[in-house]
Amino acid sequence: MTSSAKESQHRIRSFIRRQGRATAGQQNALDNLWDKYCLNPDIIVDYTEAFNRKAPLFVEIGFGNGSSLAEMAEANPEYNYLGIEVHRPGVGHLMLLLEQKSIDNVRIYHHDAIEILEQKIPDNMLAGIHLFFPDPWQKRRHHKRRIVRPSFIDLLHKKLISGGYFHVATDWEHYANHMLTILSASSALRNSSKDQRFCQRPEYRPLTKFEIRGLNLGHGVWDLIFKKI
């Protein structure tokens, strides 16, 4: 049995389901907007039908409260966006934003992102994959839970179109260097940075309130953008 097969059978999850308590507004969205924005993870979806059109498709893994995803989608109406998040109140918050702003180019999976990528998204389909501020699992004994690992990079390569990109951002320098090492080891992806290290934040990635607060305190943020060759 290959290492990737073993990992698939005994997968170490890179997230914990911290469901928390939804606000009244978020719960109202969960109760009334689910069928409008959320996709069923148990069926194979025709994305042209789900979005009522064919357009370049981008995925955001772990969108948190969805503010950045909603802002990107609103600024780029010519693109389709899939958001994947296990935190139920965050799903409710994103649906509230989409409804308030009349944004119709976002669909949501409330599910494990790896399973969605493996089982519900065809190969050579995605124009871009975003992973903004993933859990760094900073304790050494938890490093095995980090989502960016060789098997994950192999999966991204299968799902991206030629020229499609993977963009990850983190405010943990050690994790940034760890991801740089893993991504640079792939012969199927090319670093978009001129010095083969980190990129400047592109305009399409919105600054979060948390990020702005950190930058004002002198904290760093590292962006990595690798394209499929």
Contact 41, 116 (CB under 8 A): yes
Q: Where are the beta strands (DSSP E) in the chain?
A: 57-61, 80-84, 106-109, 126-132, 160-170, 189-191, 222-228
This prediction's pTM: 0.89
Distance CA 124, CA 183 (A): 19
Picking from 143, 208, 202, 144, the residue whose alpha carbon sits closest to that of residue 171 is: 208
- In order of their start, the domains of the chain are 54-228 (3.40.50.150)
Question: What are the residue numbers of the active site?
Answer: 135
Coil/strand/helix, residue 218: coil
Per-residue pLDDT tens digits of the chain, which is 229 residues long: 444 444 443 455 554 555 568 899 999 999 999 999 999 999 999 999 999 999 999 999 999 999 999 999 999 999 999 999 999 999 999 999 999 999 999 999 999 999 999 999 999 999 999 999 998 856 666 468 799 999 999 999 999 999 999 999 999 999 999 999 999 999 999 999 999 999 999 999 999 877 888 788 888 999 999 999 9
